[in-house]
Amino acid sequence: MEKKEFSEGALPSVTVDVVIFTIKDDDLKVLLIKRSIEPFKDLWALPGGFIKDSESLEKAAERKLMDETGVKDIYLEQLYTFGSPERDPRARIVTVAYFALIKPRDIGHKKKWDVSDVQWASAYKLPKLAFDHSKIVEYALKRLRWKLEYTTVGFQLLPEKFTLTQVQDIYETILGKKFDKRNFRKKILELGLVKPSREILKDVAHRPARLYTLSKKIGDIIEII
Amino acid sequence: MEKKEFSEGALPSVTVDVVIFTIKDDDLKVLLIKRSIEPFKDLWALPGGFIKDSESLEKAAERKLMDETGVKDIYLEQLYTFGSPERDPRARIVTVAYFALIKPRDIGHKKKWDVSDVQWASAYKLPKLAFDHSKIVEYALKRLRWKLEYTTVGFQLLPEKFTLTQVQDIYETILGKKFDKRNFRKKILELGLVKPSREILKDVAHRPARLYTLSKKIGDIIEII
DNA sequence: TTTAAAGATTGTATTTCTTACACTATCTTA
DNA sequence: TAAGATAGTGTAAGAAATACAATCTTTAAA
Pairing of strands A13-24, A93-101: parallel
Q: Which of A22, A6, A10, A5 is nearest to A121 (CA)?
A: A22
- pLDDT value for A11: 84
- Residue at minimal CA–C1' distance from C5? B206
B160/B103 Cα distance (integer angstroms):
8
pLDDT digits (tens, 9 = 90+) for A203-214: 899 999 999 999
CB pair distance less than 8 Å for B83 and A14 = yes
CB pair distance less than 8 Å for A1 and B45 = yes
Rounded to 5°, angle at Cα B215 from B202 and B77: 105
Put simply, whether B91 touches A (Cβ < 8 Å) is: yes
Q: Beta carbon of A115 within 7 Å of strand C? A: no
Give me chain B's average pLDDT, please. Answer: 89
In this predicted model, which residue has the larger pLDDT, B165 or B216? Answer: B165
Put simply, whether B94 touches A (Cβ < 8 Å) is: yes
CB pair distance less than 8 Å for B37 and A3 = yes
In this predicted model, which residue has the larger pLDDT, B7 or A17? Answer: A17
Distance from the B38 Cα atom to the nearest Cα atom in chain A, whole angstroms:
9
Q: Which of A177, A203, A100, A95 is nearest to A144 (CA)?
A: A100
- Residue at minimal CA–C1' distance from C28? A205
* Cβ contacts of A99 on chain B, cutoff 8 Å: none
| Nucleotides in chain C near protein beta carbons (<7 Å) | 5-12, 18-22, 25-29
What percentage of chain A's residues is helix, strand, coil (to nearest 5)? Answer: 30, 25, 45
Q: For residue A152, how far is the Cα from the chain centroid? A: 14
- pLDDT value for B165: 97
Determine contact, residues B39/B89, Cβ cutoff 8 Å: yes
CA A169 to C1' C18 (Å) is 21
Lowest mean pLDDT among B12-26, B45-59, B100-114, B131-145: B100-114
Residue B108 pLDDT greater than 80, yes or no: no
Find the residue in A nearest to B33 (Cα). Answer: A1
Residue B73 pLDDT greater than 80, yes or no: no
Determine contact, residues B100/B18, Cβ cutoff 8 Å: yes
Pairing of strands B27-34, B44-45: antiparallel
Pairing of strands A194-200, A93-101: unpaired
- pLDDT value for B3: 39
Q: What CATH topology corresponds to B153-222?
A: Arc Repressor Mutant, subunit A (1.10.10)
What's the mean pLDDT in B130-152?
96
Determine contact, residues B15/B26, Cβ cutoff 8 Å: no
Residue B224 pLDDT greater than 60, yes or no: no
pLDDT digits (tens, 9 = 90+) for A60-94: 999 999 998 888 778 999 999 999 999 999 999 99
A83 closest CB neighbour out of B4, B57, B80:
B57
Find the residue in B nearest to A139 (Cα). Answer: B225
| Nucleotides in chain D near protein beta carbons (<7 Å) | 4-11, 17-21, 24-28
Determine contact, residues B99/B21, Cβ cutoff 8 Å: yes
What's the mean pLDDT in B16-23?
97
What's the mean pLDDT in B192-211?
94
Size of interface A-B (CB pairs under 8 A): 114
- pLDDT value for A2: 40
- pLDDT value for A85: 96
- Residue at minimal CA–C1' distance from D16? B187
Q: Where are the domains of chain A?
A: 13-149, 153-222
Residue B7 pLDDT greater than 50, yes or no: no
* Cβ contacts of A1 on chain B, cutoff 8 Å: 15, 17, 35, 45, 48-49, 130-131
Residue B125 pLDDT greater than 90, yes or no: yes
CB pair distance less than 8 Å for B35 and A1 = yes
- pLDDT value for B223: 53
Put simply, whether A116 touches B (Cβ < 8 Å) is: no
Q: Do domains B13-150 and B153-222 have the same CATH topology?
A: no
Question: What b/e readout covers A176-193, taking b as 16+ CB neighbours within 10 angstroms?
Answer: eeeeeeeebeeebeeeeb
CB pair distance less than 8 Å for A55 and B85 = yes
In this prediction, the residues of chain A whose per-residue pLDDT falls under 50 are: 1-8, 225
Q: What CATH topology corresponds to A13-149?
A: Nucleoside Triphosphate Pyrophosphohydrolase (3.90.79)
- Residue at minimal CA–C1' distance from C26? A207
In this predicted model, which residue has the larger pLDDT, A19 or B68? Answer: A19
CA B169 to C1' C7 (Å) is 13
In this predicted model, which residue has the larger pLDDT, B11 or A87? Answer: A87
E-state strands within A51-204: 75-82, 93-101, 118-122, 194-200
Domain at B13-150, CATH homologous superfamily: Nucleoside Triphosphate Pyrophosphohydrolase (3.90.79.10)
B8 closest CB neighbour out of A7, A8, A52:
A52
What's the mean pLDDT in B29-40?
95
